[in-house]
Each structure stands twice: as structure tokens, then as C-alpha cells.
Amino acid sequence: LRAQTKEFDALMEKVDQEIKKVGGYIESSSVSGNSYEYDENRYAELTVRVPSGKSEEFTKFVSENSTITNKEITTEDVTLSYVDMQSRVSALETEKATLERLLAGATTMADVISVQERLTDVIYEIESYKSQLRTYDNLIDYTTITIRINEVERVDIVEEQTVWEEIGTNLKRGFENVGNAFVRFFVFLVSSVPYLLMIAAYAAVVIVIVVI
């Protein structure tokens, strides 16, 4: 999801509360922008895990509390891989039981070592497949939702417009951008006055020294 909002802090708090409400959790998050070095609005990137049965409810909540500018949904059918892994685990468990019986009846050190080596490999393979199955279980039980929230001064509303309405909208935005640019330049200019005064004073001192 890509979302826009004029109330960044309020939306972030609401999203956090909704995540807890549906029984999900934030896998990762970052907030950037609006720093002293960069004059820009803030934006947040969240990777959220919510129970699969609650994913539509959560997505609807975000849509109702912000303006969604982009939405993409991808799914992956892991049924065949999942069943294949279960079959492999079942076969390995059978082999493991056989190896344990052979190990118990081994009479020579060579047989013990040989059976033990294969048993170790089988146990490792079983744990590896079970780990992958647990990963699939987690992916199936929880939907991953990635959200980018942009703080904006004006929310972009996508709607059908005539040619003249679109021209008028673009002109309005153009004038707004020019106005914002002038405001930022004025703020920069006023903020730079102390430095300009220091430079002027330094230049005056240099001129006086040169003249003398």
C-alpha cells in the first residue's frame, strides 16, 4: 500500500493501534524526512504481519483513514511444495526409525560409525524440512503488508476530469509549487542573515587591512 495523509502522527498512532487490535505485529519500520538537513515532509515505511483472516479488515482501515495512491496484491501457492516436504519428512522419519534399530543391533565399530553418520544426516534433513514447514505455516497464518505513508500538504485525489479541469488543476498546483518555492527561499534567506552579516563584517575587515 502507498498512502498519503496530512495528519502523519495521528495516522501512525491509529495504524499502530489497529495492528494490535487485529492481533498483528510490526516486523520492521522506519520514519524519515523533516530533519534539519533536509526540508521535506516525513514518510514512513512499515512491514506489518497480520493474521490472514484479518488482512482485509486491516487494509480497509488504512484505506478509510488515509488516501491510497497505489495498491498491489501478490500471492504464492505453496501447496505442492508443502505437501512434498511433508512427504519427505515422513520418509525420513521412517528411515530414521530403521537406522535406530540397526544402530541398536550393530556388532562392529565400523557398522556403528557407518549407521551413526547416516542417522546424523537424516536427523539434520528432518529438522531442515520441519524448519521450512514452520516458515510456510507462519507465512500462511499471517499476511505480510508493506505500507509507505507519505506526509503531504495536499492530498492527491484521483478522479475523472475534463481537459479544461485537468489544465486548471495543473495550473493551480503549479502556482502552489511556485508559492512554496518562494516561501522556502524567503525562509532560507532570513535564516542566512547571521551568516551574511558575519561574511560582510569579515569582508569589511579585510578591505580595511588592505587599504591601510
Output the pLDDT for position 204: 77
Planar angle of CA 10, 16, 20, nearest 5 degrees? 145
- In the chain, what percentage of residues exceed pLDDT 90? 59
CA distance 212 to 197: 22
CA-closest candidate to residue 156, choices 169, 174, 141, 168? 169
Res. 169: pLDDT tops 70: no
Please write the tens of the pLDDT for every residue from 44-102. Answer: 999 999 999 999 999 999 999 999 999 999 888 889 999 999 999 999 999 999 999 99
- Is there a contact between 89 and 130 (Cβ–Cβ < 8 Å)? yes
Q: What is the pTM of this model?
A: 0.60
Res. 23: pLDDT tops 90: yes
Output the pLDDT for position 157: 57
Output the pLDDT for position 9: 92
Res. 15: pLDDT tops 90: yes
Query: What does the pLDDT average to over 34-52?
Result: 78
Planar angle of CA 151, 157, 163, nearest 5 degrees? 135
Output the pLDDT for position 187: 67
SS (H, E, C) 39-52: CCCCEEEEEEEEEH
Output the pLDDT for position 75: 87
Output the pLDDT for position 29: 93
Please write the tens of the pLDDT for every residue from 178-203. Answer: 666 666 666 667 777 787 788 878 77
